[in-house]
Chains A and B, each alone.
With several copies, the nearest count.
Chain A
Amino acid sequence: MYTKKVMDHFTNPRNMGEIENPSGVGTVGNAKCGDIMRMYLDIDDNGVIRDVKFKTFGCGAAVATSSMATELIKGKTIEEALKVTNKAVMEALDGLPPVKVHCSLLAEEAIHAALWDYAEKKGIKIEGLRKPKSDIHEDEEEDKQDY
């Protein structure tokens, strides 16, 4: 059901763990399946993401997308990180089964939540960042029959 890349990131997740005293940390839950993801960011003074770690309680897709998402934002600026959408993560993983698309939203939201935490701590405003909901959910599938 999962692609090779998903399986690779699932079995050998990159950047799994915690960061002590992170610049920002965000935890989001998926209302749809009850799964949870926490993202830790270490951001330097130039707004570059020096390090990123995650912890995930979730399915294979959730673990793999967290892992891939951290890879995609590591070393990037905040602005660049904001452009990493769940679609980009999925593409980097060679796709997810339709029923698992919503899992990838978890990663996107967790990054946003961690950035929001960073901005609040710093007392700054990040252009284009909305306050993340603690529970995310995707729009209803268009046609339930199609998966």
Chain B
Amino acid sequence: MEKKIYLDNAATTRTRPEVVEAMLPYFSEMFGNPSSIYEFAMQNKKAIDDARSIIAKAIGAETNEIYFTGSGTEADNWALIATAEAFENKGKHIITSKIEHHAVLHTCEYLQKKRGFEVTYIDVDEFGCVKLDQLEKAIRPDTILISIMFANNEIGTIQPIKEIGQIAKKHNIIFHTDAVQAFCQVDIDVNELGVDLLSASAHKVNGPKGIGFLYIRKGVRIGSFIHGGAQERGRRAGTENVPYIVGFGKAVEIAMANMKERTKKETELRDYLIKRILAEVPYTRLNGHRTKRLPNNANFSFQFIEGESLLIMLDMNNICASSGSACTSGSLDPSHVLLAIGLPHEIAHGSLRLTLNDEITYEDIDYTVEKIKEIVYKLRQMSPLYED
């Protein structure tokens, strides 16, 4: 196999060999059920607690405020549905944004259609920043939850979380943030930011796919989402995924240790990539905010061409990239995020997301830019929208 240039780290990341190493003993050796009483299994309980405390520290939380889930999506569902159930007597209104991940948007839809909730979807400006004035005006006496993502998965825009936290606090409303993309990429301190609930996922930080966590601030009394055994202090049932919990802990330990250096390097590369693409490919725009963006995210729209064709041709040149989010690639609709920042339909269609990791080199970027130039040129020749 030729060398792949993997530029889709927002979709998922490579599980680090050190993480795999850390998980391995828990499959066939220390395989006990952590809820069991014998010593053999109790060591696993400790392994879980160690991982939990590493993760808690990474967001400035207490260890017992972290609850492991089966994915970032589950954490989002839990936060929204359990908060809705806990506070529906107080009110049935939720505020979120138009650019949330489907894990939040489709859960909101569920709450609307099946559970009688009302949801207000706040607009974003052309850079993808949530409109704070609109958000505050949307608050009603029956608003029980504000859910705004920390950073967007498509265009990388980082939201004014602290300000939103203050608004939520002022109005005594629970504040949830989907930090799946921001976790270990930007500094997060739940107390400083005033966040009550926070979701994250391991596979975006070089951990395994299929494990996430929900941070629940002590005192925020929401129920369970998955009901059953007494795991996770009675709040999330199901035999604990010991290997993945250990692996998640290890991944976060590494990601937090190298965060400063890594994000600095990624930011430089990102800016180099953005600069070259905008300078060398005509009829191209950068989507998202120029500086308030994830260190590893670049997102472009190339006028007159369509995303899938571009992706396939990049793939044939060993470059892995995406247009919208991976989990909606089965869909034909243009990205709801790009429409929300005001792009017309055809331009939204021609978008490309490149998300870096710290193994990407300037050489890789140079190669990628050259290929993009070639392919965009070729596709424009083919396009009925392009007149040269």
Contact = CB atoms under 8 A, between A and B. Distances in A.
Interface of A: 1-2, 7, 10-11, 13, 16, 27, 32-38, 55-60, 62-63, 99, 144-147
B235 A55 contact: no
Interface of B: 37, 42, 64, 233-235, 304-306, 308-309, 312-313, 316, 330, 332-334, 345-346, 349, 381-385
A57 B385 contact: yes
The 3 closest A-B pairs by CB, nearest first: A55-B384, A38-B384, A33-B332
B381 to A, nearest CB: 8
Given A32-B332, A34-B345, A63-B309, A56 B384 contact: yes
A57 B383 contact: yes
Contact of A13 (B308, B332, B382): B382
Nearest to A66: B382
B304 A57 contact: yes
B312 A10 contact: yes
A16 B37 contact: no
A145 B234 contact: yes
A56 B64 CA distance: 34
A145 B235 contact: yes
Contacts of A10: 309, 312
Given A35-B306, A99-B332, A60 B312 contact: yes
B64 A146 contact: yes
Contact of A57 (B64, B306, B334): B306
Given A2-B312, A7-B312, 16 more contacts: A10-B309, A11-B313, A13-B382, A27-B384, A34-B346, A34-B349, A36-B346, A56-B383, A57-B346, A57-B349, A57-B385, A99-B330, A99-B332, A145-B234, A146-B64, A146-B233
- Most B CB contacts (10 A, CB to CB) among A2, A7, A57, A62 go to A57
- Most A CB contacts (10 A, CB to CB) among B235, B313, B330, B383 go to B383
Contacts of A1: 37, 42
Contacts of A2: 312
Nearest to A55: B384
Q: Please classify the interface of chain A as helix (H, G, I), strand (E, B), loop, or mixed, using the class held by over half of its residues.
A: mixed
A111 B382 CA distance: 17
Nearest to B304: A57
Nearest to B37: A1
B384 A57 contact: yes
Contacts of B349: 34-35, 57
Contacts, number: 64
Contacts of B316: 11
B309 A36 contact: no
A120 to B, nearest CB: 20
Contacts of B345: 34
A36 B384 contact: yes
B382 A56 contact: yes
Contacts of A63: 309, 382
Contacts of A36: 346, 384-385
Contacts of A16: 381-382
Nearest to B305: A57
Contacts of A7: 312
A105 B308 CA distance: 18
A31 to B, nearest CB: 10
A55 B382 contact: yes
A60 B311 CA distance: 9
Contacts of B64: 145-146
Nearest to B349: A34
B49 to A, nearest CB: 13
Contacts of A58: 306, 308-309
Nearest to A16: B382
Contacts of A144: 234
A60 B309 contact: yes
Given A1-B37, A144-B234, A60 B308 contact: yes
Contacts of B383: 55-57
Contacts of B233: 145-147
A99 B331 CA distance: 8
A114 to B, nearest CB: 12
A19 B13 CA distance: 47
Nearest to B221: A145
Nearest to B307: A59
Contacts of B333: 33
A111 to B, nearest CB: 15
Contact of B306 (A13, A59, A145, A146): A59
Nearest to A63: B309
Contacts of B384: 27, 36-38, 55-57
Contacts of A35: 306, 349
Contacts of B37: 1
